[in-house]
Every structure is written in C-alpha cells, then in structure tokens.
Amino acid sequence: MEQINQYPIGKYKEPEEITKEMYASYIDVIALFPGNIKLEIMTLNDEQLDTSYRKEGWTVRQLVHHVADSNINCFARIKFALTEDNPTIKPFVEEKWAELSDAKHISILPSLSILEGIHERWAILLKGLEKQDWNRTFFHPDLNKSQTIAEAMAKYSWHCNHHLAQIKNLKKQMQWK
C-alpha cells in the first residue's frame, strides 16, 4: 500500500520517443493543473492540509508548496533553454525546500496563485514553440546530462499528475469530500 501512495501513477519512465501529440498532452496537463489541484484541495481544512499522504511523507500543504517551487524552477529552465545555448541550470534540494517554514506552515493560497500565473504563462509559451524549440537543451548537473525541453516536459507532466494522484488517493483513503 505504501508504494501505491508514493507512486500512485507509477514511477516516471522516460519515453523512448516524444511525438507531436505528446507535446499537446504536456501542454494540456500544464494548462489544466492549477484548476485540477485547486478542485482537490480547496475544501480541505488545516488539519487535512497538514496530513501526510503516506507514512513519513510530506503533508498536502507541503505538496502544494512543493509543486509551486518545482514548477517555478522548470518554467525558468525552459526559458533559459530557449534563450541560451545549453545553459547549466541550478538544481534545488526539494526535500530541504519542503521543510522551510513557508512550505510547512503558511496558507496554500500563495502557492495556488503562483501555480495559476506560472501555468498560464507556461502553457502559452509551450503553445508558441516550433518543433525545433522542443529539442533545445539545458544541462542538469545532478543528472550530469543535458535534457531537451520535450524531455523536461514529459517529466513535469508526469510530476503534476503524480502529486495530484497522491492528494486524490489520500482523500479517498481518509474518505474526505
């Protein structure tokens, strides 16, 4: 059961090939994510927001702040890749960011606002990309390799759906509306 809670849609698997249709699905995930997560969490009270989705996992509150932090970083990485030649990006230690006071104790509303703004701009940016733009790269020092925008979007589409499923699973387990 713990594995299901940790990876409710399965662990990330990098696609062997990324098609034009997949670009469109990534854009849809990015465009719809803020509304989808808001739909799942806006009825939760503070006690529910401070419930971990799995044993020794982050709370719902931390998950919401985490996706805002993570997606800010990815949006910036995409913009760097579009405007520079294979820039080296700055990784962030997400586990430590999730333990900071702004992720553990404040309202989720600022992060929902961030998600709405970033995702609106991100979807517009992605819709305007030409085929060759999806192949632009950034270098990820933690992975010690370059990633294309298409590869990053495959992972971030999964990432959004992954955390959304964690929240949905917790609500179902706890029988929350």
Give me the residue spans of the domains in the chain.
19-49+66-174
Q: What is the mean pLDDT of residues 148-155?
A: 98
How far from 59 is each of 1, 25, 27, 50, CA to CA, in Å?
A: 17, 28, 27, 5
Closest to 123 in 3D by CA, of 2, 14, 25: 25
Residues 6+ apart with CB under 8 A from 54: 2, 5, 6, 166
CA atoms within 13 A on the CB side of 83: 8
Residue 145 host element (H or E): strand 145-148
pTM: 0.94
Give the model confidence (pLDDT) of 7-23 as tens digits. Answer: 999 999 999 999 999 99
Q: How far apart are CA 33 and CA 11, in angstroms?
A: 19
The larger pLDDT score, comparing residue 177 to residue 79, is at 79
Beta carbons of 153 and 126 less than 8 angstroms apart: yes
Backbone angles phi, psi at 169, to 5 degrees: -65, -45
How far from 159 is each of 16, 71, 125, 150, 175, CA to CA, in Å?
A: 18, 9, 19, 14, 24
Could you tell me which CATH number the domain at 19-49+66-174 has?
1.20.120.450
Residue 167: alpha-carbon gap to chain centroid: 13
How far from 13 is each of 2, 7, 141, 166, CA to CA, in Å?
A: 20, 12, 20, 18
pLDDT for the residue 61? 98
pLDDT for the residue 5? 79
Beta carbons of 169 and 8 less than 8 angstroms apart: yes
pLDDT for the residue 177? 83
Give the model confidence (pLDDT) of 55-110 as tens digits. Answer: 889 999 999 999 999 999 999 999 999 999 999 999 999 999 999 999 999 999 99
Give the model confidence (pLDDT) of 21-58 as tens digits. Answer: 999 999 999 999 999 999 999 999 999 999 999 988 99
Q: Residue count of the chain, please give it.
A: 177
Give the model confidence (pLDDT) of 104-151 as tens digits. Answer: 999 999 999 999 999 999 999 999 999 999 999 999 999 999 999 999
